[in-house]
Chain A
Amino acid sequence: NAGVTQTPKFQVLKTGQSMTLQCAQDMNHNSMYWYRQDPGMGLRLIYYSASEGTTDKGEVPNGYNVSRLNKREFSLRLESAAPSQTSVYFCASSTGGGYTEAFFGQGTRLTVV
């Protein structure tokens, strides 16, 4: 019953460093998402992938890149981390491209100093 698995769970980066957040789902879902959550602002969509081979920008894509490696995996890369990217990052997946419920990973708490 793994569902959606994110790694790492915690990370501290220095400004300018790069890193990749990994996400994998075992529910055979077509759609996958990356959200960030900041205090008082709810979850904001960074990028999404409606199906294998496609990716699209969400509400706050600047400073991020994504790769839909295969149907199971969707990674998020920060090329040059900035303090404004300190946040909690959630990966999610769903069957129906935004019409059906999304299942979330446990989150990655990222601090950029």
Chain B
Amino acid sequence: RKEVEQDPGPFNVPEGATVAFNCTYSNSASQSFFWYRQDCRKEPKLLMSVYSSGNEDGRFTAQLNRASQYISLLIRDSKLSDSATYLCVVNNPTGRRALTFGSGTRLQVQP
């Protein structure tokens, strides 16, 4: 089983739509969770951290479910500029002291 699993998509949605991505992780001891955004042929950049109580940043809402070991990202009122690949990222406290990245979910927002 992969340490971090995501649906690769693509998710094709119209502008203004609400879209949600889920991600599951295998290490129950993980403590740090993030969503990164990666544009085509660019480096990954932090979109938002994910906190236990859930958190919101403008049109973006992240949720964490520790019992089921999944993380979600909700994007409301999608913009063309949201088209990108979204990477679910989890830390690995019981092994290598580095972040583990999912393969990413590709989002394409259409006019």
Contact = CB atoms under 8 A, between A and B. Distances in A.
B97 A40 contact: no
B97 to A, nearest CB: 4
Interface in A67-109: 90, 94, 97-107
B84 to A, nearest CB: 14
Q: Report, as a range, how many residues of chain A touch the other chain.
A: 20 to 34
A90 B98 contact: no
A106 B32 contact: no
Contact of B99 (A98, A105, A107): A98
Q: Report, as a range, how many residues of chain B touch the other chain.
A: 20 to 34
Interface in B47-101: 49, 87, 91-93, 96-101
Contacts of A100: 32
B44 A104 contact: yes
Query: Would you call the interface of chain B mostly helix, strand, loop, or mixed?
Result: loop
A60 to B, nearest CB: 12
Which of the listed residues B32, B97, B103 has the most CB atoms from chain A within 10 Å of its own CB?
B97
28 contacts: A31-B97, A31-B98, A33-B98, A33-B99, A40-B8, A42-B4, A42-B101, A42-B103, A45-B100, A48-B96, A48-B97, A48-B98, A50-B97, A58-B96, A90-B44, A97-B97, A98-B92, A98-B98, A99-B31, A99-B32, A100-B32, A101-B46, A101-B49, A104-B43, A104-B44, A104-B45, A105-B43, A106-B43
B1 interface: no
A56 interface: yes
Contacts of A40: 8, 103
